[in-house]
């Protein structure tokens, strides 16, 4: 399903006469020419390399010409763990033969993916039917041109030695040919998705463990360009030997630290080839978030007084259906215009507009939803409010000392959206509550945000992560239950960091506000936070209290009453996955070489230099000394992006805003994109080395997550998902179908999935929904 294979119908003619041979050859040539022409028309939609672009069609558009010289395959870009046992497979004799074959055959196919090692390149010309293409872009305007190229450049398959593996593949192709055609003819057009149709071309590559990265070369390239790329294939393979396999290094995994996440090993041996994608039938419709819309689990909760109903409750089995597009969906408005306006049809919700319109949050203007830049506490614009805070406490120094902040109860995230102008990265956080689609509005605007709540569990961030925590009338009851929620902020706020509170208790004298202010003042004093100043914003008619977390434990020891108590030594502040909140204070690190003892260097220097606490005596994730590991990882991703991703895979980076690295390690991929007008959500899987503190330390941000479960974001959130050697690991413990369904859910239409993994794993990625699947747990 979704595969388009060319069937090689050649037969032996050893026992036939010369005239028979001539007739057979002529007829076969005609048939092959016709098949290749038809196939090439479909193939003209392929416009990428080094990535699997799962792009949901919104409307037909032209694909720009790709610079073939940008397709620089770099085997050194891939971790060695994906190539063990394969790098020495080619003999010296084979190598000499390959040098000649590279220039003559490796680039004869219109969309032949050439990111292969030497053994795979030897078979390149005979593997023309094996390809990994996953794109849903329609390019009808290029069909005639593609047909012409095919007529001029079609080349018959090489009649070289066929390996047993090739014989087996040819047999499989003949068996599947009729089924593929039937499936394609019988697939109904999906309704409820604005008439859009998802297209995917799928290749099943050799089932080896060799890491794969695809390269496409246009047929009109000159021979010199082909020769240069072919030579690089040989040169870059040597770089691969310099890379090391991933290890846990000096860091344990989040799963081990939390000790509560019980990983269920689900068999991934289900026949992926026979799977028929279905559309999800749920009450939430096109806004379905599986772990936040589990209505059955929410109904069974004994209490919701601590916002339990806003927390994550994942279905017993992760959904394997696809979330449809809303009617009237359009390609998202580009940044920075998206900060001011988005298409109404993409987030067709009006309740928040009606409820908050008078506060200058959000308005409707024709076919757009507009954002004047205001908020509950800054009706006259976020920029004035941002400058007001720095004027109140100049030491905050937006974009230099204060780089990564957490905005609790973010609304539509205008505060974080305008902090980009001050070189500040904001993690905006809000629950999926009665103010519908707050976070969805933020993400559609191109502003970082997640759906989460200050409830009963720790936030999915490491301790001492944020430079600043901000709450502008966020309506969080910080002072109740022994101050558990404020103590959670104390955990994630770095020593010396700032808490900015501009809620009504700071500047109003209503009876309720006075009670809250007194309770908060008492609690904050017991936390040893220093009240630096209460600033008054006369323009917006509000005030903001700015507090500073202590950098030592002296105050804690000198308190007359040990309340809240200090946490026990056994309580790891970095263990967060499904860990309940505790009403205790974690002590400040006292060792000068320990993380959190000192402040990071100023931005942007902190991005490129290893943190002071990253010890050279400890092994890093890739087996080298931790500090060298950090530097090598950064250089690695700079090289990959410059030589491959930026110009070599058909992505228009000027149109990219929301990016996710699904397995971030040190955050090197995000760091390599620092000069682009985008942001990257760095995800550290709970079973990977706990490197998220390093990511925050270098002025980036991220989150812990288990990819066997749904991510806490709305559908259609990200332009690009980057998965580096992630899926092959997930197949061992998750239902891989559900993983790919989740990828499709959070990826925007026309978005791209960049996959770097072994060939077998990449070959399993495919989609094409044709049926509807009802999720019982999500039906009201």
Longest CA pairwise span in the chain (Å): 107
Strands (E), 580-661: 658-661
The tens digit of pLDDT for each residue in 415-436 reads: 999 999 999 999 999 998 766 6
Q: Is the pLDDT of residue 703 over 60?
A: yes
Q: Is the pLDDT of residue 181 over 80?
A: no
pLDDT at residue 747 in the model: 98
Bridge partner residues of 500 (DSSP): 470, 546
The tens digit of pLDDT for each residue in 37-65 reads: 444 444 433 333 335 544 444 443 333 33
The SS3 of residue 709 is coil
Tell me the domains of the chain and their CATH numbers. 1-243 (no CATH), 337-624 (3.40.50.150)
**Residue among 678, 680, 717 at smallest CA distance from 56:** 717
Q: How confident is the model at residue 21 (pLDDT cuts 50, 70, 90)?
A: low
- Quick check: 64 and 652 in contact, CB under 8 A? yes
- Residue 27 is given by DSSP the state H
Percent of the chain with pLDDT over 70: 64
Rg of the chain over CA atoms, in angstroms? 28
Bridge partner residues of 368 (DSSP): 343, 365
Question: What is the C-alpha to C-alpha distance for residues 724 and 637, in angstroms, rounded to an integer?
Answer: 11
Q: Is the pLDDT of residue 650 over 50?
A: yes
pLDDT at residue 754 in the model: 96
Which has the higher per-residue pLDDT, 524 or 103? 524
**Residue among 682, 662, 663, 685 at smallest CA distance from 671:** 682
Q: How confident is the model at residue 24 (pLDDT cuts 50, 70, 90)?
A: low
Residue linked to tokens 């930026």: 646
Which has the higher per-residue pLDDT, 215 or 774? 774
pLDDT at residue 368 in the model: 96
pLDDT at residue 724 in the model: 98
Question: What is the C-alpha to C-alpha distance for residues 245 and 527, in angstroms, rounded to an integer?
Answer: 44
The SS3 of residue 469 is strand
Residue linked to tokens 């005239």: 19
Those residues whose C-beta lies under 8 Å from the C-beta of residue 764, and which sit 6 or more positions away, are 272, 731, 736, 740
Q: How confident is the model at residue 561 (pLDDT cuts 50, 70, 90)?
A: very high
pLDDT at residue 185 in the model: 42
Those residues whose C-beta lies under 8 Å from the C-beta of residue 88, and which sit 6 or more positions away, are none
pTM score over 0.75: no
Q: How confident is the model at residue 378 (pLDDT cuts 50, 70, 90)?
A: confident
Which has the higher per-residue pLDDT, 529 or 36? 529
Query: What number is the average pLDDT over the span 735-762?
Result: 94
The tens digit of pLDDT for each residue in 249-300 reads: 556 677 766 654 434 333 444 444 557 889 999 999 999 999 999 999 999 9
Query: What number is the average pLDDT over the span 436-441?
Result: 86
- Residue 657 is given by DSSP the state -
Compute φ and ψ for 757, nearest 5 degrees: -165, -175
pLDDT at residue 152 in the model: 44
The tens digit of pLDDT for each residue in 90-115 reads: 344 444 444 444 444 433 433 433 34
Which has the higher per-residue pLDDT, 708 or 168? 708
pLDDT at residue 740 in the model: 94
Query: What number is the average pLDDT over the span 28-36?
Result: 59
The SS3 of residue 499 is strand
Question: What is the C-alpha to C-alpha distance for residues 706 and 702, in angstroms, rounded to an integer?
Answer: 13
For 542, how many CA atoms within 13 A lie in the half-sphere containing its CB?
A: 24
**Residue among 154, 166, 127 at smallest CA distance from 29:** 154
Q: How confident is the model at residue 699 (pLDDT cuts 50, 70, 90)?
A: very high
- Quick check: 137 and 750 in contact, CB under 8 A? yes
Burial of 308 per CB tally in 10 Å (0-12, 13-18, 19+): middle
Question: What is the C-alpha to C-alpha distance for residues 595 and 577, in angstroms, rounded to an integer?
Answer: 20
């Amino acid at each position: 399903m979704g595969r388009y294979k060319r069937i090689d119908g050649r037969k032996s003619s050893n026992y036939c006469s010369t005239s028979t041979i001539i007739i057979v050859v002529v007829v076969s040539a005609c048939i092959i020419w016709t098949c290749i022409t038809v196939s090439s028309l479909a193939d003209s939609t392929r416009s990428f390399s080094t990535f699997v672009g799962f792009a949901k069609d919104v409307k037909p558009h032209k694909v720009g010409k790709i610079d073939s010289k940008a397709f620089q395959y770099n085997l050194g870009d891939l971790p060695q763990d994906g190539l063990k046992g394969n790098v020495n497979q080619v003999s010296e004799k084979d190598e000499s033969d390959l040098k000649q074959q590279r220039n003559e055959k490796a680039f004869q196919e219109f969309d032949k993916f050439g990111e292969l090692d030497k053994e795979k390149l030897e078979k390149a010309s005979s593997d023309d039917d094996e390809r990994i293409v996953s794109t849903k872009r329609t390019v009808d305007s290029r069909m005639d041109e593609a047909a012409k190229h095919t007529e001029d450049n079609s080349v018959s398959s090489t009649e070289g030695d066929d390996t047993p593996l090739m014989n087996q593949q040819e047999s499989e192709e003949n068996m599947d040919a009729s089924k593929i055609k039937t499936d394609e003819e019988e697939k109904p057009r999906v309704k409820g998705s604005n008439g859009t149709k998802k297209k995917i071309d799928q290749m099943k590559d050799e089932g080896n463990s060799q890491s794969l990265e695809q390269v496409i070369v246009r047929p009109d390239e000159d021979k010199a360009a082909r020769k240069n790329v072919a030579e690089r294939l040989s040169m870059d393979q040597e770089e691969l030997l310099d890379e090391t396999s991933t290890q846990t290094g000096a860091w344990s995994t989040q799963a081990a630290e939390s000790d509560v996440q019980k990983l269920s090993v689900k068999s991934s041996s289900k026949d992926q080839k026979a799977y028929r994608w279905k559309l999800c039938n749920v009450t939430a419709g096109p806004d379905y978030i599986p772990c936040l819309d589990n209505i059955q689990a929410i109904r069974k909760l004994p209490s919701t007084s601590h916002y339990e109903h806003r927390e994550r409750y994942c279905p017993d089995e992760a959904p394997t259906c696809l979330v449809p597009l809303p009617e009237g969906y359009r390609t998202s408005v580009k940044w920075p215009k998206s900060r001011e306006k988005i298409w109404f049809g993409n987030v067709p919700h009006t309740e928040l507009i009606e409820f908050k319109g008078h506060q200058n949050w959000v308005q409707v203007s024709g076919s757009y939803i507009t954002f004047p830049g205001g908020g509950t506490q800054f009706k006259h614009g976020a920029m004035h409010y941002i400058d007001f805070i720095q004027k109140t406490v100049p030491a905050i120094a937006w974009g230099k000392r204060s780089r990564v902040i957490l905005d609790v109860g973010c609304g539509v995230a205008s505060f974080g959206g305008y902090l980009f102008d001050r070189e500040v990265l904001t993690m905006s956080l809000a629950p999926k509550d009665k103010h519908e689609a707050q976070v969805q509005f933020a993400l559609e605007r191109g502003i970082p945000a997640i759906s989460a709540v200050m409830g009963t569990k720790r936030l999915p961030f490491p301790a001492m992560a944020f430079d600043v925590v901000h709450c502008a009338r966020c309506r969080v009851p910080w002072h109740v239950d022994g101050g558990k929620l404020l103590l959670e902020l104390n955990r994630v706020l770095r020593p010396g960091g700032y808490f900015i509170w501009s809620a009504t208790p700071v500047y109003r004298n209503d009876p309720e506000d006075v009670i809250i202010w007194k309770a908060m003042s008492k609690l904050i004093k017991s936390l040893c936070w220093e009240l630096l100043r209460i600033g008054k914003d006369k323009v917006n008619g509000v005030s903001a209290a700015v507090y500073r977390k202590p950098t030592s434990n002296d105050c804690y020891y000198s308190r007359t009453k040990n309340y809240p108590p200090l946490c026990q030594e056994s309580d790891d502040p970095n263990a967060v996955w499904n860990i309940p909140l505790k009403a205790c204070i974690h002590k400040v690190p006292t060792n000068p070489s320990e993380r959190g003892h000192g402040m990071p260097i100023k931005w942007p220097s902190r991005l490129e230099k290893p943190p002071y606490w990253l010890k050279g005596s400890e092994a890093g994730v890739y087996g080298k000394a931790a500090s060298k590991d950090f530097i090598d990882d950064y250089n690695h991703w700079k090289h990959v992006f410059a030589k491959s991703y930026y110009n070599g895979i058909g992505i228009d980076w000027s149109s990219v805003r929301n990016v996710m690295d699904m397995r971030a390690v040190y955050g090197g991929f995000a760091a390599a994109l620092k000069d682009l007008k985008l942001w990257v959500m760095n995800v550290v899987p709970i079973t990977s080395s706990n490197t998220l503190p390093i990511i925050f330390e270098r002025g980036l941000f991220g989150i812990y997550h288990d990819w066997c479960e749904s991510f806490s974001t709305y559908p259609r959130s990200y332009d690009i998902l980057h998965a580096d050697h992630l899926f092959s690991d997930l197949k061992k413990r998750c239902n891989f179908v559900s993983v790919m369904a989740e990828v499709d859910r959070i990826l925007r239409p026309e978005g791209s999935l960049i996959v770097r993994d072994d060939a077998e794993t990449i070959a399993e990625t495919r989609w094409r929904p044709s049926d509807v699947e009802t999720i019982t747990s999500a039906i009201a």
